Amino acid sequence: MIKRLLQYRFLFEELVKRDFKKKYKRTVLGMAWSILSPLLTLLVMSLVFTQFFGRSTPHYTTYLFCGNLVFSYFSESTGQGMASLMGNAGIFSKVNVPKYLFLLSKNVQTLINFGLTLCVFFLFCALDGITFTWKLIFLLYPIVCLVFFNIGVGLVLSAFFVFFRDIQYLWSVFTQLLMYMSAIFYTIDNYSPMVQNLFLLNPVYLFIRYFRKIVIDGAIPTIWFHLLMLAYVLIVLLLGGWMYKKYNSRFLYYV
């Protein structure tokens, strides 16, 4: 795969540039929306939920930001990845190129947006009185895992979307449900241990929880927690890769 990426490096770079420019085309603020959009969402959530959930939660603004940061990246990356094949059908139906290039270019574009927002996140942490420690370097683990998890989910969704256009509406409803099940604006401490363990079935919650453990609690999650996260990543990557390999030749007949 890496060899083919290097072979099509020029095309890949042009796809990333095109996707990035296309997102901010005809906008006054341009790239500033990468930072303003999550900040405005955070402001609204903070105003709405602080009175209900934030009174007893230390560093509630940072707590909210962790959840919103991770979930927004996941939602944007998978949503754009889902349409990556159909949006570039005019190219791969005429030229024989690796179809996963279109998905990867979308993921690079959303990763850049995530990186910009992450810088603002650390600024907010400082303003919220968060103490930075050497353990922050462990954030690289959930970030890398999240990148590959998004790619895996994008592979699955984009393959399904070629054959079933209804998947876009189902995914929209599912992500809405997933947002409420990811403990973005509330804590799960008051639930029973059995219910708390059920949240671990949600991979997005794992990423959010990891961020909060490192940034707010200054603690490193257990090895078991790391392995569970890695397992989710490998499952979706293998499933997505298998679907692309199995249906690669059939994509042309449905676009």
Span 16-20, mean pLDDT? 68
Structure tokens at 212: 């909060």
7 vs 204, more confident: 204
Q: Answer whether residue 39 shows pLDDT above 90.
A: no
Sign of the alpha-carbon torsion through 143, 20, 173, 188: positive
Q: Is the confidence at residue 28, as pLDDT, over 60? A: no
Asked if residue 30 has pLDDT above 60, the reply is no
- Helices 100-127, 140-163: inter-axial angle, 10-degree rounding: 140
Neighbours of 162 (CB within 10 A): 21
Predicted confidence (pLDDT) at residue 112 exceeds the cutoff of 60: yes
Identity of the highest mean pLDDT range in 103-117, 158-172, 175-189, 221-235: 221-235
The rounded percent of the chain whose pLDDT value lies above 70 is 77
Per the rule left: phi > 0, alpha: psi between -120 and 50, beta: everything else, 187 is beta
Q: Which of 250, 235, 179 is nearest to 208 (CA)?
A: 179
pLDDT of residue 219: 92
Mean pLDDT score of the chain:
83
CB atoms < 10 A from the CB of 186, how many? Answer: 17
DSSP state for residue 126 in the 8-state scheme: H
Q: What is the pLDDT of residues 68-84, one digit of tens each?
A: 899 999 999 999 889 88
pTM of the model: 0.87
**Tell me: the pLDDT tens digits for 147-169?**
999 999 999 999 898 888 889 89
- Picking from 97, 139, 87, the residue whose alpha carbon sits closest to that of residue 114 is 139
Structure tokens belonging to residue 48: 């709405």
